[in-house]
Amino acid sequence: MSASPQPPSRTPSIKFCGLTRREDATLAEQLGAQYLGGIRAGGPRLLSPERWRNVLGEPRASLARVAVLGAMSAHEVVDETRALVADIAQWHGDPDVESVAIVAAAGVRIWPVLRIASGGLPREAWSFAKHAEALVLDAKVPGQLGGTGVALDWSALASDVARWRTDCPGVRLVLAGGLSAGNVAQAIALLHPDVVDVSSGVELAPGIKDPERMRAFVDAVRGRD
């Protein structure tokens, strides 16, 4: 009987999402975030294409700028990502597997989002892994695509996530949904994500990040008191 694979031992990468101010993006980069996210899917954190570029800045090797996209066709995802000169497309809007495959075939780094209301991982998690660089897990809240502050039931997902990791090596797991400095250590211990994605958990108001909460989140992820 072979031994069960061990969960990743390294500290997860950090993605600050829902950025609307250049100063918040700058601080995120200074704090060592590997990913910056800007919303192009509607809601109170929506950025125009011009503001998306102004807030997240130009391409650079030190981090990846993630375009958070909503309900659109695969070809629209490709066009939007290229127009923004984004590094990654994070696709909400419940895309199907065939559409994700089209985006990946076009050479776009694609992170499809699985929005989960309850229970374990749906079968799409395994299907997406054939085409995507990473899989994003987020809480499903009717009428909202993300940034809701609602956390997933990590304990209910733990066994399925462990099995998914065994079945889909090389695909990164991005954990979103209600993360904050107060709970991210527990989420990491249960699911061992490769990336933790925070938005509302470090905000004073939608799109307005709190520097102290950002620093506290980074310290919690890195196990610093």
* % of residues, the chain, pLDDT over 70: 92
Instruction: State pLDDT tens for residues 180-211.
Output: 999 999 999 999 999 999 999 999 999 999 99
Amino acid at 95: P
pLDDT of residue 120: 84
Tokens of 42: 């509607």
In a domain, 145, yes or no: yes
Taking 90 as the threshold, does the pLDDT of residue 118 lie above it?
no
Q: Domain range for residue 183? A: 13-221
In a domain, 2, yes or no: no
Taking 60 as the threshold, does the pLDDT of residue 81 lie above it?
yes
pLDDT of residue 6: 42
In a domain, 106, yes or no: yes
In a domain, 72, yes or no: yes
pLDDT of residue 141: 61
Taking 70 as the threshold, does the pLDDT of residue 69 lie above it?
yes
In a domain, 7, yes or no: no
In a domain, 1, yes or no: no
Most confident of 4-18, 86-100, 132-146: 86-100
Q: What is the tally of structural domains in the chain?
A: 1
* % of residues, the chain, pLDDT over 90: 81
Nearest C-alpha neighbor of 92 from the set 80, 106, 107, 105? 80
Q: For residues 117-141, give the mean pLDDT.
A: 90
In a domain, 35, yes or no: yes
Taking 50 as the threshold, does the pLDDT of residue 3 lie above it?
no
pTM: 0.91
pLDDT grade for 143, boundaries at 50, 70 and 90: low
In a domain, 3, yes or no: no
> Sign (positive/negative) of CA torsion 79, 84, 85, 89?
negative
Domain at 82, CATH number: 3.20.20.70
pLDDT of residue 142: 52
Tokens of 59: 């391409």
